[in-house]
Structure 1
Amino acid sequence: MTNLITVSTCNLNQWSLDFKGNKERIIQSILIAKRQGSKLRIGSELEVTGYGCLDHFYENDIITQSWEVLADILKDTRLYDIIIDIGMPLLFENCRYNCRVIIYNGMVMGIRPKKWLANDGNYREMRYFTPWLKPDSYTISYKLPKIIQVINSQDSTKMGNINIECLDTKIGFETCEELFTPQSPNIDLSLNGVEIICNSSGSHHELRKLDKRLDLIINATKRCGGIYLYGNQIGCDGDRLYYDGCALIVVNGEVVAQGSQFSLNEVEVITATVDLDEVRSYRSSIISRNLQAMHNENLFSSINVPIKLNDTEEQNKSYLKPTPKRKIRYHSPEEEIAMGPACWLWDYLRRCGSPSGFFIPLSGGIDSCATSMIVYSMCDLIYNAIKNGNKTVLHDLQKVAKIKTDDEWIPKSPEDIANKLFHTCYMGTSNSSIETRSRAKALAARIGAYHTDLNMDQGVSSIVSIFEVVTGKKPIYKVFGGSSTENLALQNIQARLRMVLAYMFAQLLPWYRNSWGGLLVLGSSNVDECLRGYLTKYDCSSADLNPIGAISKTDLKKFIAYCSKRYPNFEILNDFISAVPTAELEPILEGQYTQQDEADMGVTYDELSEFGYLRKVEKLGMYSMFIKLLHKWGKPSSDLHDNLDGCIVSQLEDLDKKKRSELEKSAKVTRGLTPREIADKVKHFHKFYAINRHKQTTLTPAYHAENYSTDDNRFDLRPILIDSKFEWASEKIDKLVDELEKVDKVINTLD
C-alpha cells in the first residue's frame, strides 16, 4: 500500500464572539493534527466567530475581526505544510456568505460559500446569510482585504463551487445542511473524481437524533466510495443549543474514527490514516457509478495546491498502516440526558462570569430531582476530567468556586464539587407533605449539595393579609368552601413566592458561606407541562436556565431509573420514581381530596407527549390529530369506518352476509378508547394549550433536547392569543363522532 494519507477533523468548543479563544482553539487543533502526521485538517462551521452569533452577524465588525483572526493564522509558520479548512463569514458585493476558507502555507487558496442554508427548526441562516446560487462551475475573483494582502502579497483568490486538486488526490466540500438536502453535493463531488469530501458543521443535539446524521454521512460514501471528514462544534456557545460534536472519518461506508458526542474537552482532534487505493478500487468496481461519472458534467472549478498528501518519508512508510474500521458508538437516551444538559450547564456556568454555582428549589418531586441529578452528572464529568489530567477544567472549576490562588484545592469526589457549586432548598408550606420534604433532604445529602429547608406560611399569610386589608375579603381554598378563583389565586401565591425566595437565596447563600458572586437559578418544568401550560407564570419554574425544559416526563423517569443504577448508593431515587406527581399547593385532607398532577391536567404525561409530537413534528391541526389518534387509540369501530369504503350508515343494512361476517370479526378485536373519549381528550388538550399559550413566551431558556420543544424564542413560533374553542374543527370532530357512534350501534345489532 503506497497511497496512505493521514487526515484530521475536529470537535471544537467555540463560543460566539470569542475571537481570541476561538483562534487559540483553532490553532491548537491544527498543531495537534500536524503532530499526528496529518496533511489535511478541517474544523467546525463558522469556527472563527462561533456558530450561534445570531443577529450579531449583521455587524460588520464580525467580518473585520474574522479576517484579523485569519491573518494571525496565515502568519503563523508553525501551521505550514498542511491544508487547513476554516469556517468564517465574509462579505462579497454587499452580500454576507457563510464560507469555508482554504489556506496553505500562508496563502488563501480558495473560498467555498455555502449553497444550501439551514432555515428551519432552530436555524435561521437565511436571516443572516445569502445562499451561493450562482452556476455551479462559476467562480469569481475575490479581492482579499488589505490585512491579508500585506502578509503574502496575494491580492485575490477564487470564490465559488471549488475543489482542491493536490498532486495525488482531489478534495471537495459540503457544509452541514447540504448533507441533508435531496441532491447533496457529495454525489456530484464523487462523480467528478473527488476522493476526500470535507463537511464542517454546526449541528445540535436532540435526543435520539445522532443515528440520522451518521446514517447520511455513512451512506454518502457507501453508495459511490470515498473518504468523508465530518467536523462539528461541541458545547454551548451561548444559547439554548448544545452542539454535540461526534466528528467522524468514514471510508467507503465504514467508520474508522469517531469523536466524542459529549465532552468537557475544548479541543478534540480525530485523525485517521486512510488508503486512497481502497477508494479507487471500491469505485472502479461499481459499473453503474462509473457510467454516471462518465456522463456527469464537471460542476466544479479546481484549484491546484502543490502538496502531495502521501509524502511520508520512505523510511517511515513501513510504520504507517490504515486505521481499522470501528463500531459506531451510540449513547442511550438516558445517557444523553445525563451528559448533554450537564455539559451545557458547565459551559454556561464557566463562561458567564461571576456566578459561583447553581441554586434549585428542590420540591421532592421527580422534575427537580432530575434537574439535580443532571447537576450531579456535571460534577461527575468535571471530577473525571480533572482525574484524567484536564488542567483547563480544574482551572475553570477553581475560578467558578472562588478558590483563592494560594489554595491548591483539588476535589476528591463529585460530591466535593457539588458542595462547592450546588445549593438546594426545600420551600415548604402547611400543604407540603413529610414525604416530599424528607426525599428532598435525602437527595441533597447524597449529591453533596448545600441544602436549606424552610416553611414560608408566614410569607403567604402576609401577602393574603395585604389583599384582605385592601378589600375586606379573604380568599379560602376550595376544599374549605372557596371558589375556583380563590383556590387558584392561593396556589399561585405560593408558587410565585418560591420564585422570589429562590432569587434571594441564590444571591445571598454564597455571601452566607463566606464566598462571593451569586448563583444561577435552575428551573425544573418539563416539556409536557410547558406544552399544556401546567405551571404558574413567573413561579419557581421561572429561572435563569432550565436543563429539562425540552425533555418529556416519560424520559425523565427513565433517566432517574438509569441514575439509580449508574451511580452507587442512590437508592433514594427509587422513592422519586414511585411517588405520585403532585404540586402540593392545596391543603391535604386525609381520606378526602389529594392533589395529583395528571388528575389536575385531565390528561396523562404519556398522552401529552403524544399530543406534542403530533402538533409539532407531524404538524397536525386539531381535526387531523383526532383522525390520527382515532386509528392509534381507538376501538375497532374506527378501523371499521375505514373498511366501509365510503358507505353511509343507512347502507349498512344492505351489506351481504360475507361483509357482515368480516365486520363482526373485526369488532371482536380488543377495544381501546371510544371516538368520543378520544375527541374529548383532543379538545381538552387544545383548549388548555390555547388558554395557556401566553405562558410559553416567558418560559425559562431551556436546553433543547426534544423535537417538539415549546421554546417560543425561535423553535416553536405560534400566536400568543388563540381561540380556545376551535369551533370549526370541533364541529367536524363532533359530526364524525356521531357518525361513528351510529356505525358502532349498527354493528352491535349484528352481534
Structure 2
Amino acid sequence: MQHYGFIKTALGIPFSNPGDLHTNTEKIIALSIEAFNNGSSIILFPELSITGYTCQDLFSNSIIIQKTIESIITIKNKTKFTDIIITVGAPLIWNNGLYNCAVVIQSGKILGIVPKIFLAQYREFYEARWFKSGLGIKNQHIPIDGEMICFGTETLFRNSKNPAMVIGIEICEDVWTSSPPSGTLAENGATIILNLSASNIIIGKDLYRRKLIEMQSARLIAAYLYCNTSAAESTTDLVFDGDGLIYENGILLSQSERFLRKDQLLYADIDLELLTHERTKITSFPSSSDNFNSIDFSQQRKTFELTRLYAKHPFVPANNDLLHNRCKEIFTIQATGLAKRLETTQCKAVIGLSGGLDSTLALLVTIKAMKLLNKNPQTEIIPITMPGFGTTTMTRNAVEKLCDELAIPLLQYPIHDISNTMFDTIEHPRDTHDITYENIQARSRTYILMSIANKHNGIVIGTGDLSELALGWSTYNGDHISMYNVNSSIPKTLVKYLINEISQTEFDGHAREILSDILTFPISPELLPTSGNTVVQKTEDVIGPYELHDFFLYYFVRWGFTPEKIKCITNKTFSDIYSEDEISQWLTVFIKRFFTSQWKRDCVPAGPKVGSIDLSPRGSWRMSAEMSINDFLF
C-alpha cells in the first residue's frame, strides 16, 4: 500500500514489571516481530520500557545500567532480520549524566538515541532526581556494542526510499510544555512524531491527554503516535493506564484498551501522502532549515491489507449529536449569508420551487434569513412553481401544501407554452426529448424567475448544490444562474439531513409532515414527459449514485488523492454495495464531468462557504477550464 502513501504503524504496550529487564526485553522483541510480520513499518514502546518507569533510585544502579545496554543489544540482534523501526525507552549514561532516552533500532543497528528534554519535576514527579535534561545536546555519541551511536536532540530519522516518511521523537512531558520539541521537528520536516510516555492516571487526565495529542497532531499536520506505560508499573503511589493513541492530522485512528492486564499491540494505517498534501496547501505552515541532525535509514515497501476505515458519507457525521450541531451550524451560516445579501440589496427573495430537496432547503434557509432581518417571510418571499412536461402531481402537491401551510403566497407559471414557443422558434421537434428539449425548459424557468425578480425588486435565490456544481449537472444560464446561491457548498448527501434537522427544530405539525414526505422523493429534474405521478427520469440512473460522487469529490478536492487511490479506498469502503466495475464506471464519469464542467464553475453566483470544500472561482477552487484530463484517467 505504500505506493498510495500508506504505512502501517504500531504501538506495543507490554504488561511488564519494573526492574524485570529480561522479561521486558523478550516482550519488546516478540511484539516487534509480530508487528513486522503484520506489515508495520514502525513500532513504538512506552517511556523507559526496557527497565520500567518506576525503578526510581535504582535507575543509576550499575546492574540496571549494565542490563539496559545488554537489553538494547539483544533487541537489535534478535530483530536484525526485520526492517521495522523499533523505538524503545531506556536510561543511558553520557558524559557523567543519566538520561531518559528513546533508542531507535532497525535491521540489527542502533540508528540513534534521543534524550528527553523537559523533565517532570512537580507534584508527584521527581525525574530530575535521577535524570538530566537533554536540552542543548546535539550530535554527540554514546558507545554501544563497539559502535558510536549518535546521541542528541533535534534529530530526524528519514527513510531514503520514502521521502515523506520523516520521524521525530519527544518523550512524555515534552508535549505538555508550551513549546513542545515536536513543533520544531515538524517545521524541519517530521511527518511522524513518536512520543514514549509514562503518564499516571487521575480523574479527567485521560480526556485532557487525548485532547492534547489530538491538537498537537492537528497543529503539526502530522501523525502522532503516543504510547503510555501499562498498569503493570508499581502502584505504590501512582497508577498507569496503558493509554495508546495514534492520531493523524487531529483524527484519532486507533486507541488502546486502558488498564488492560496483558500485552497489547495496536495498529493504524498512516497516510503520509495526505499529510504532505495538506502541508503543501497550507502555505502558512512554517518550513525551517535548522541545523538538525538527519539520520537516514532504508526500508522496503511493505505489502499489507489496508485496515483503515473510511466513512461512506464523509460530509455527514456518524455521531448523532455531532450531526445535529453540524446541521444547525450550516443552516445558520446559510441564513446569515443570505440575510446580509438581502440587507445590502434591500430586495425581496424570489425562489423557484420544484418540490425537490434542493429548492426545499433553499426555501427554509430563505425563511430563516428573513426572520434574522425581522422581516415577514409571508410578504418578503416570492415562491414560484413552474410545472412543465415532467412535473409529477407528487412534487407539485408538495409545493402547494408546504407554501399553504407556511402561509406564503405561491405563484404558478407553467412553462409549457414558453417552451413550445422556443421549440418552434428554433425548429426543434416537440417529441424529440433530447438535451435541447430539457435545457429549454430549464432556461424558461430561469427567464421567468429573473423577470419576476425585476418586477418585484427581488433577487433570485439559487438552489443548485455542491455535488451538481462538481458534476456540471445544471443548465448553463438556466438553473446554473441566480443572484445568490445558498446551497453552493452543500453536498447532495447532506441535504436530506439538513432538511430533517430544520423540520425538527424550526417547524411542527403539518409542515413537518410535508417536509418528511419531500425527503422520500427520488432525485429528478422532472424534464421528461410524465403522465401523472410517475417519475420517469431519475438523476442517479444517468450520472451515478450521489453517495459515490460525494465520496469521490471529498477525496479528490479536499485531500488531492489520485483517481487510482480513490478507487482503492472506494472499493474497500463500498464493497458491500457496489462492484469494483461499477465503482470504476462512476469514478470515470466523475473525473470526466468534473474536468469538463470547470467552465460552468468559472461563473457561478455568490454563495456562502460552509465546509472544507467549495468550488467557487472566488473561493477555494481555481482551475483552468482547459486543463488536460489525460493523466487523471485510469
Query: TM-score, normalised to structure 2's length?
Result: 0.47
Query: TM-score, normalised to structure 1's length?
Result: 0.40
